Amino acid sequence: MLRAMLRGLLSHKLRLLLSALAVVLGTMFMSAAFVAGDTMAKGFEQLFATVNENLDVQVTARNDAPESEQGSEIVTAFVDRATADRLENVPGVADATPHVSTDGARVVGKNGKVVASNGPPRFGIGWVEGDPLIQLRDGEAPDAPDEIAINAGLAKTTGYRVGDLVDVITLQPRRTFRLAGIFGYPGGRDSLGGETTVAFPMATAQQLMLGAPGKYTNVDVQADPGVSDVDLKRRVQAEVGPGYVVKTREETARDQASDVQGFITVLKGGLTGFALVGLFTGAFLIFNTFSMLVAQRTRELALYRSFGAGRWQVNRAVLAESVLFGLVASTVGLILGIGVGWLLRKLLESFANTSLPVTGVVVRPYVVVITLLVGTLFTVLAALIPALRASRVAPIAAMRDAATPDRPLGRLTAIGAVVFAVGVLLLGLKLTGTTKGALWPMLGGGAALAFLGVAMLAPAISRPVTGLFGRLFGRSMPGRLGTRNTGRNPRRTAVTAAALMIGVTLATGAGVFAASAKSGISDVFANDLNAQLIVGVDFATGGTGGFLPSKVDQMKAVPGVETAMALQGDNVLLGDRNAFVSATDLAAARVIFEMEPEGGELRPLSTGELVVDEDTARTRGWQVGDTVPMRTARGGDYTERVVGIYRKNNVVSGALVSPADAATFRTPYAQQGFVKVADDGQVGAVEARLDNLFADNPEVTVSDQSALIAQSSRFLDVVLTILNVLLGLTILVAVLGVINTLLLSIFERTREIGLVRAIGMSRTQLGRMITVESILISVFGVLLGIVAGVALGIAIVQAVGGEFLHLTIPWWYLAVTFALAFVAGVLAAILPAIRAARLNVLEAIAYE
Amino acid sequence: MTANGTAARADQIWKVYGTGEAQVAALRGVSVTFARSMYTAIMGPSGSGKSTLMHCLAGLDTVDAGTVWVGDTKVTGLGDAGLTQLRRDRIGFIFQQYNLLPTLSAEENITLPLAIAGRKPDPEWYATVIGTVGLEDRLHHRPSELSGGQQQRVACARALVSRPEVIFADEPTGNLDSRSGNEVLTFLRDSVRRFGQTIVMVTHDPNAASYADRVVFLVDGQIVDELASPTAAAVLDQMKRLDTHA
């Protein structure tokens, strides 16, 4: 029986192909994410194995100061020579070599700009003669204080050659060096993982990179033969004591990889999320296909039943079909996904400017299992209801005309309302933070239920809505017929449209959020910031740059400037927890940030004094006059007394301290400067003068507020674009669904098409009729999506709240989305219209 | 014969299906002329080629040799666009299966050919047609709410409303009980008598043929005989004779 049914299944090739494509796309995305992630993880593992080849145990100084998001690779606690020397004498130690290696050496390229980093650190190291990791390729080792060597990757991107003069920014401002040598790494690599490295003579490195002559960042220890890493670690730890962290090679590699692992996890998670949304969309398509197949085969199924096949047998046969279908589609998706994973890896490698030491791709068994399982599961779940319906076919149906009347929608609508309510409740609870518990399962589950609910509610409203939009197409006969046809099978129209709704809802929700964030940001800057010009670090140059706060005096002296300030921020240990603290001149900040005292006073701060915003003061329980200990990254310990509490303010928050207390921050640079110009008409002239002032610093740019707003908008736009591209997959699947539905409609209405052709409808008119149906389904889906998406966006904006979100509906974005529905409708109609036009009139009209 | 008096004409037409051994000729050099304002029935046993003849005359099927004319237009050799326009403007169809569009009301079905052509019905003529088929109170019903006879009357009205040069009817009473069938046949005959409509009807029912002005007999793809002003008995008689010959 199964074989007979499979033959029936295969007779609808094109329709099956479209549905299969939906599963293929979803599983492809998923396996590609896994494969790319695993391959990169393996690559980095091997990379760090190379880096650590020559050490068995690494010693660094313990640092209790908190880490910072930016410049996390900057080492701020040091080891001295004596420690290394002591280690030489520990039994089991063959060799102990002190090194300097830390983030923050920024090379200025030939174009005068700082060489950008897309994430990997920009190391400055001390040259160690005989270091097996560093292999000199050209020139010689840097000997003199004004000489450097750089890695070959950096030399290639900048075009610098031995003998060139190269500017480097370190803890100290821009300084010019002579390029003495170019080096590579074992295995002929130009770069390890996309990082750049500048090697100075050791003493220079200590001064420029650490600001601590005679200090080192780490000691690499090699074991005597026969001494295990773990053994060696214990002996070394015993020698150096608790002030130092001792790690085995394995532990070191794991720590080095943790940043990368975090990125890979996010990548895998994000792409898998989109793949699941794609599969969820595909499930609607599969549901439609199987419903149609069952409906078309009612006679056939009834025949089996009248031969004595049990309900369960029919049910099982349809489910078996779906399992087979899901397996085949998932397998194709898996195979394609492995290829796409390879492409994705190449893409990421070129983005990070590196190539990983692993050939081909890594396909772990779990990827195969999960991909096939998930792909098949979605298919079977989608086919479940059609399978049940198939089993309810009565044997008598074999003798009757196959056409079943429209079932009433009342019960479906009621169930839909309940499902929708449950989904919205789940989402609401999570968004408002009323309940704790798993974030993503609740959000994902809530959204999925809400979508299903809307899909069930949609049939009830599909006819009026499509009828209304049908009027757009005037009173022409093709338009009218297309509109009527759309309303003919509300369930099918609704399911098809609902699939389209999913992607559109998410895209619209994101659009509302982004628009709200944009307008929030610009409102805050425009209303609350009393400065016309902003000196900022260009994001592209990385997080470690800035300008020396002492520059503020020169900024204030620029003609036309009323006042100016700098913000030098860092993560510190404040009291018992990690806090972001900014150092600034409070006299200027009071004016520029329009700060108002809530308690105490807001006067220029001396060392050991801080002011804080009212919210932070309340949560920390601080009063004016309280003292709190502060420990900075470079080991400064301060006792800060709260001298003032300022009112909640949109542009500044947290603790502010005296510039004197920032001397031991991670970097000596201020990240932001604000300039208030006395006369608004002078802003352009002052901007030019400030540009001049910062001419030798390629890491900062002077801009007006609009440039800053544009910069933050640009970031949001990039995020939104990436999101939309990924959601495009979902929408593509849904458009396949529209094609599928149209093909079925044409198949079902073969005789009608034959008739209208016989009585004089031209192929063009026929194509228009199908296009109208296609557009109406698409418009209905997109409309549902826009309404749901705006609701979702509003809900998220309200739930997140805050001054930087001003609820804004992006009408343009919505209009473009709506217009795209028309385009999608027209495109989806092409194939079905061609099919319909090719029908032979005579055969079509005689079609049973 | 002048073009003025001819509604449709076939000249030595051949229609062959299949190739080689399996070749079957459905029409073998058929020449026939249908005069204006005449009700002609094409009769013949199953497989005689009568439906094929009608399809070729109506531009629904192509001929392998010979020429088909509708009025003074040469149908043979027209492309899809030309054939579509011909069917739209100059030909009406009535099918055995009614073939109404289920989404349209009776009224919308009737005016469908005009709507496709982008024309408005002539209100006087429209009222006449509706009155003749007796559907005044059924115009806003959907086909599923009409009986078979009513549906076929809607189909007849649809064929008539655009005043085509010729209506081709393919077994119009095949699916109807005898009373409904007679109603439809009477109506078709009246439209010829009263309005000068030209009708070509394919049937195998002698009673249906007896409503026609003229009956053409087709056997094995060739015209073998014809009767003018036939009675049911005469047609039946003739059919029996042809059957024994075959």
Domain ranges of chain B: 37-47+78-213+221-245
Amino acid at A768: R
Written as six digits, the tokens of B64 are 């392998």
Distant-in-sequence, close-in-space partners of A243: CB < 8 Å, separation ≥ 6:
A61, A62
pTM: 0.80
**Closest Cβ opposite residue B99 in set A485, A762, A845:** A845
Secondary structure of residue B67 in the 3-state scheme = strand
Q: Do the chains contact at A760 and B81, CB–CB below 8 Å?
A: no
Q: B89 contacts in A (CB within 8 Å)? A: 760
B140-155 residue pLDDT tens: 999 989 998 899 999 9
A640-654 residue pLDDT tens: 999 999 998 888 889
Tell me how far apart the alpha carbons of residues A317 and A4 are, in angstroms, rounded to a whole number: 10
> What residue of B is the nearest CA neighbor of A755?
B99
Q: Does B229 touch chain A (CB under 8 A)?
A: no
Provide the percentage of residues in chain B whose pLDDT is more than 70: 97
Helices A763-800 and A490-528, axial angle in degrees (round to 10): 50
Q: Which residue ranges make up each domain of chain A?
A: 1-61+261-404, 63-242, 427-531+704-848, 547-696
Q: Do the chains contact at A752 and B99, CB–CB below 8 Å?
A: yes
Secondary structure of residue B7 in the 3-state scheme = strand
pLDDT mean over A378-407: 73
Question: For testing the chain A interface, which of B80, B103, B119, B202 should be mutated: the one with the most A CBs within 10 Å?
Answer: B103
The top-scoring range by mean pLDDT among A174-183, A517-526, B40-49 is A174-183
DSSP characters over A783-801: HHHHHHHHHHHHHHHHHH-
Residue A45 · residue A258 · CB < 8 Å: no
Q: Do the chains contact at A763 and B80, CB–CB below 8 Å?
A: yes
Report the pLDDT value the prediction gives residue A402, as an integer from 0 to 100.
Answer: 44
Tell me the pLDDT band of A816, cut-offs 50, 70 and 90: very high
Q: Does B21 touch chain A (CB under 8 A)?
A: no
Distant-in-sequence, close-in-space partners of A406: CB < 8 Å, separation ≥ 6:
A489, A490
β-pairing verdict for B73-74 and A672-677: unpaired
A460-487 residue pLDDT tens: 888 888 888 888 876 788 888 888 888 8
Tell me how far apart the alpha carbons of residues A749 and B204 are, in angstroms, rounded to a whole number: 29
Distance from CA of B233 to the nearest CA of A (A): 31
Residue A490 · residue A455 · CB < 8 Å: no
Which helix (H) or strand (E) segment is A563 a member of?
strand A561-574
Q: In what order do the strands lie in the sheet with B39-43?
A: B91-94, B166-170, B199-202, B39-43, B214-219, B222-228
Max Cα-Cα span within chain B: 56
**Closest Cβ opposite residue B60 in set A751, A752, A758:** A758
Q: Is A438 left (phi over 0), alpha (psi -120 to 50) or beta?
A: beta
pLDDT mean over A290-297: 79
Report the pLDDT value the prediction gives residue B2, as an integer from 0 to 100.
Answer: 40
pLDDT mean over A272-300: 83
Written as six digits, the tokens of A15 are 């329709």
A227-255 residue pLDDT tens: 888 999 999 999 988 889 999 988 888 88
Secondary structure of residue B11 in the 3-state scheme = strand
Q: Is A57 left (phi over 0), alpha (psi -120 to 50) or beta?
A: beta
Q: Does B122 touch chain A (CB under 8 A)?
A: no
Distance from CA of B58 to the nearest CA of A (A): 9
Amino acid at A219: V
Q: Do the chains contact at B93 and A759, CB–CB below 8 Å?
A: yes
Top-confidence residue, A162 or A707: A162
Q: Do the chains contact at B113 and A759, CB–CB below 8 Å?
A: yes
Written as six digits, the tokens of A227 are 């001494």
Tell me how far apart the alpha carbons of residues A192 and B107 are, in angstroms, rounded to a whole number: 79
Report the pLDDT value the prediction gives residue A610, as an integer from 0 to 100.
Answer: 94
pLDDT mean over B125-153: 89
Q: Do the chains contact at A762 and B92, CB–CB below 8 Å?
A: no
Tell me the pLDDT band of A5, cut-offs 50, 70 and 90: low
Q: B51 contacts in A (CB within 8 Å)? A: none
Report the pLDDT value the prediction gives residue B118, as an integer from 0 to 100.
Answer: 86
Q: Do the chains contact at A756 and B101, CB–CB below 8 Å?
A: yes
Report the pLDDT value the prediction gives residue B3, as an integer from 0 to 100.
Answer: 43
CATH superfamily of the domain spanning B37-47+78-213+221-245:
P-loop containing nucleotide triphosphate hydrolases (3.40.50.300)
Tell me the pLDDT band of A361, cut-offs 50, 70 and 90: confident
A714-731 residue pLDDT tens: 888 888 888 888 888 888
pLDDT mean over A419-437: 77
Top-confidence residue, A606 or A54: A606
A533-584 residue pLDDT tens: 999 886 655 567 889 999 999 999 999 999 999 999 888 989 888 899 999 9
Distance from CA of B238 to the nearest CA of A (A): 29
Q: B165 contacts in A (CB within 8 Å)? A: none
Size of interface A-B (CB pairs under 8 A): 68
User: Does the pLDDT value for residue A98 go beyond 90?
Assistant: yes
User: Does the pLDDT value for residue B1 go beyond 50?
Assistant: no
* Phi, psi dihedrals of residue A76, rounded to the nearest 5°: -125, 0
CA neighbor of A709 nearest in space, from A527, A492, A471: A527
pLDDT mean over A515-528: 85
Report the pLDDT value the prediction gives residue A827, as an integer from 0 to 100.
Answer: 94
Report the pLDDT value the prediction gives residue A47, as an integer from 0 to 100.
Answer: 80
Provide the percentage of residues in chain A whose pLDDT is more than 90: 37
Report the pLDDT value the prediction gives residue A276, as an integer from 0 to 100.
Answer: 87
Q: Does B50 touch chain A (CB under 8 A)?
A: no
Tell me the pLDDT band of A41, cut-offs 50, 70 and 90: confident
Report the pLDDT value the prediction gives residue B15, as an integer from 0 to 100.
Answer: 92
**What mean pLDDT, rounded, does chain A reach?**
86
Q: Do the chains contact at B88 and A763, CB–CB below 8 Å?
A: no
